[in-house]
Structure 1
Amino acid sequence: MSIPSAFTASLSPEERAAHGRSARRRAPRSGHGRFEAGADRPDPIEVIERQSAQRVQELVPIRYGRMLESPFRFYRGAAAIMAMDLGRMTDSGLTAQLCGDAHLLNFRLLASPERHLVFDINDFDETYPGPFEWDVKRLAASFVIAARANGFSTAEQEGAVRECVQAYRTRMREFAGMHTLDIWYAQDDADSMRKLLASSMSKHAKRQTAAATAKARTRTYLQAFAKLTRITSEGRRIAADPPLITPLRDLVAGSSAGEEEKELQTVFEEYTKTLSSERRHLLGHYHLVDIARKVVGVGSVGTRCWIILLLGRDDDDPLLLQAKEASESVLAAHTGGERFDNQGRRVVTGQRLIQTTSDIFLGWTHVVSGLDGRGRDFYVRQLRDWKGIARPETWDPAMLRLFGQVCGGSLARAHARSGDPVAIAAYLGGGDSFDRALTEFAGAYADQNDRDFEELGVAVRSGRVQAHDL
């Protein structure tokens, strides 16, 4: 889909720019604005049903219930549907490591290992190499869907998309002129970004961003520890809240309990081997105390996700890890790229390519279940650490446009780390042709998302699938 990176690096900036401009012949920028489902478009409900078939069946109705809450919640759970649609379109052939699910709620405030608050992409379950514009299109459409939920006008919806795409394009041009190491070291520090955007922010927006930053710093692992655990006669344990949080001790009984516990102990032990030596040493100061299954997100509901509680010096010295099952990326079938032997490793590798500062406990593992004999891949990270989550339902159009700027610029930084910023910037150009096309696409795809959302409702009402509101 693109020239090999080693060959790209040997080209001059002028040759790389020429390569980017030549991609316009393959995929004209204005052509990105067109979206037509076509009569041969596969049934979207079948697409998500195929995903659900590999998941914990008792949790699948919760997934559908969450997707039915709103068109935006549906969109969050429908990454596989959009990947199918994007794979049927002509692409630029200019690749980067994609997030794969770049909707606006996947951008948030996070803690760096140095304890700085940064703005970055959060979830990487679908990360995979692919055409750079696929991420931009998914992000752009999410702004239209969020704006519609707030009752914003068509002009206000389009304004948010234009700000987002323009920020992506202009920042990519900045990266095209930077030294390679400077691109790799670039990050979006929350305080610096707030100062940079201050001139374009209203007093209300300034108050909102200051409050969000302050709240993110309170969402620490200690807060999660207090919320998710309790003191029992056996010591500190994870509190049950079934079916959303189910401790292992309550999930299985008899001989199967021993098998499940052994499997999860193996998950943990094998995972530690993927950490660097100093981080294995740090983890060695903790001991495993309790494990529970947790229902997470929207699109991830039904995947096997475990909370792992470890304690260090005493019962008030915790570490909470999340071990999440990793399946093949929804993009894989539509790119023709290499297949990964471990999907957990795919997630971790992609995250390290995209994020400027990743969780120090990020790792992966593979385990063969003693219950059904199936091999499953997992990736592991801290459960929560300084995460600030956007609340677009509380925003006015100006705040949504501002967030569009921040997300677009952040996505450009992510792509510039793994892709060729010179070629991508040359393809995008200095005018607004790509911006206008993506604005058109975002509106058309939001319409399609509305139709697919209605289709899921029909499927539930007809009894084709079951949905639970939890």
Structure 2
Amino acid sequence: MTTQLGEPPTAAALTPPERAALGRDARRRAPRSCHGWFEADGERPDPVAVLERQSATRVPELVPVRYGRMLESPFRFYRGAASLMAMDLGRLPSTGLLVQLCGDAHLLNFRMLASPERHLVFDINDFDETFPGPFEWDVKRLAASFAISGRHNGFDTAEQDDCVRDCVRAYRTRMREFAKMPTLDVWYAQDDVDRMRALLASSVSKEVRRRTAAATAKARTRTHMRAFAELTRVTAEGRRIAPDPPLVTPLRDLLDDPSDDRQEKELRGVVEGYARTLSSERRFLLRRYRLVDMARKVVGVGSVGTRCWILLLLGKGDHDPLLLQAKEAQESVLAAYTPGVRYDNQGRRVVSGQRLIQTTSDIFLGWTHATGLDGVGRDFYVRQLWDWKGIARPDTMDPDLMRLFAQLCGASLARAHARSGDPVAIAAYLGGSDRFDSALAAFAQAYADRNERDADALAVAAATGRVRARTL
């Protein structure tokens, strides 16, 4: 059984001044200046051991790929180390001002997406770790990602700090705007292309405007038809998923015995079970497609090794495709450090969190449960593979462009948190000064140092044979 998430139950019963008082009272538990401090104590577990425990439930032959990707740079390591940061955040003072957290709010989990109405919007895209918790946890993870990315790009410390401050300032000022808005207006708010253009108009750099316009145009080309063209090929049986092992491995190539159809039956059961979580009109739409092929896919950095399948369905023929991604959902890395709703299905946790904090979710978003050939039951969530997704390239950004991107991410995170938490209380806690912004800049630098040491520890583990890393 589950409990519905939403605003804290006391919020609706309190007046705005009382809600603001709750925010100001939170400063006694966690003064804004305390967020500028981070230092791991002597009881902090070995970071490699934490990563190994997480890897124990993953596909064994893909774990070295995960480590190989994490070792490419400190920023790539950070993307795969959400479990380490959750452990660190859980040891810090907490405001107690709860929201539905993204759980992994680093800068590459914000991107341009297509709304069901076919509008281009800017929003959070990854919800694998979503869970209720203190709002500042997401802000800290996002802030540190800008410091780490800035270091990777060769920015000096002042330029890194400017990116972090712009991000946190955008969060704080947007939250203060939401605190004054009617509840429905907060719920309907979204970051569409018009808002992005308004932000761009304030930029004095023509190059920033040009590159952002180019990224917007490129996002519109990343359609399901482009994914279809890149991931499939024509065979004697019709369109099928093209192999690219180990990144894309069709089911037929994973089976020791080609006549063993148990895995295929399991995946067909995934589709059937998932369909029951869709609304009736979307189940009707899904029934117009038939499943013709499936393949295991390696995705991301932190997700490498979790079971992820791409499913090819066809409608009226070989040129009428629907590509779905069924991704294993494990318990959130945050769950051990904060009391929150416990779901009977982790896929449902992901979907519920996404629907709560994302303004426009994929129409095919759903969840299911399946038992594999090893007899282990696993939870999955399902969504379309690619749909107007514009992915940022932070390694190509100069300081001006990264500061602009930081503002977009900070404002978008505030919108997500205002939907699920109490914007009046959070805004009152943050206040009108830059005290919180400055504290987060200091935190981001301290945590970037910690992240580099953890990445070095994984490198030593790989060099000594404690773990095996594979670079593709």
Equivalence for 2:105? 102
Query: 1:117-147, CA deviations, whole angstroms, 9 ceiling, x for partnerless residues?
Result: 0000001000000000000000000000000
1:27 aligns with 2:7: no
Per-residue deviation, 1:3: 12
1:412 aligns with 2:408: no
Count of aligned positions: 468
Query: 1:189-226, CA deviations, whole angstroms, 9 ceiling, x for partnerless residues?
Result: 02332233312241000000000000000000000000
Per-residue deviation, 1:256: 7.8
1:353 aligns with 2:342: no
**Alpha-carbon distance between aligned partners in 2 of 1:175 and 1:3, rounded to the nearest angstrom:** 16
Aligned residue for 2:336, secondary structure, equals: helix
Q: Where do 1:38-437 residues align within 5 Å?
A: 38-254=41-257, 257-369=260-372, 371-437=373-439
**Alpha-carbon distance between aligned partners in 1 of 2:299 and 2:50, rounded to the nearest angstrom:** 20
Q: Structure 2 counterpart of 1:388, which letter?
A: G
Task: Determine what percentage of the aligned residue pairs are the same residue.
Answer: 74
Aligned residue for 2:43, secondary structure, equals: coil
Query: 1:9-48, CA deviations, whole angstroms, 9 ceiling, x for partnerless residues?
Result: 1100000000010000000000000001011111111111
Contact 1:249 1:257 in 2 (8 A): no
Q: Structure 2 counterpart of 1:259, which letter?
A: R
Q: Structure 1 counterpart of 2:426, which letter?
A: I
Per-residue deviation, 1:368: 1.9
Aligned residue for 1:442, secondary structure, equals: helix
- TM-score (norm: length of structure 2): 0.98
Per-residue deviation, 1:338: 2.9
Query: 1:421-457, CA deviations, whole angstroms, 9 ceiling, x for partnerless residues?
Result: 0000000001011001000000000000000000000
Contact 1:219 1:384 in 2 (8 A): yes
Which structure 2 segments of 5+ residues have no match?
A: none
**Alpha-carbon distance between aligned partners in 2 of 1:147 and 1:465, rounded to the nearest angstrom:** 29
Which structure 1 segments of 5+ residues have no match?
A: none
Contact 1:57 1:302 in 2 (8 A): yes
Per-residue deviation, 1:152: 0.5
Q: Structure 2 counterpart of 1:396, which letter?
A: D
Contact 2:7 2:420 in 1 (8 A): no
Comparing 347-356 and 187-196, the one that deviates more: 187-196
Per-residue deviation, 1:339: 1.8
Contact 2:65 2:471 in 1 (8 A): yes
Per-residue deviation, 1:68: 0.3
**Alpha-carbon distance between aligned partners in 2 of 1:257 and 1:192, rounded to the nearest angstrom:** 53
Per-residue deviation, 1:410: 0.3
Aligned residue for 2:461, secondary structure, equals: helix
CA 1:351–1:3: 2 relative to 1, 3 Å: closer
**Alpha-carbon distance between aligned partners in 2 of 1:97 and 1:87, rounded to the nearest angstrom:** 16
**Alpha-carbon distance between aligned partners in 2 of 1:228 and 1:291, rounded to the nearest angstrom:** 11
Aligned-residue RMSD, C-alpha? 1.2
Contact 2:306 2:327 in 1 (8 A): yes
Query: 1:161-206, CA deviations, whole angstroms, 9 ceiling, x for partnerless residues?
Result: 0000000000000000000000000000023322333122410000
**Alpha-carbon distance between aligned partners in 2 of 1:256 and 1:374, rounded to the nearest angstrom:** 22
Contact 1:109 1:190 in 2 (8 A): no
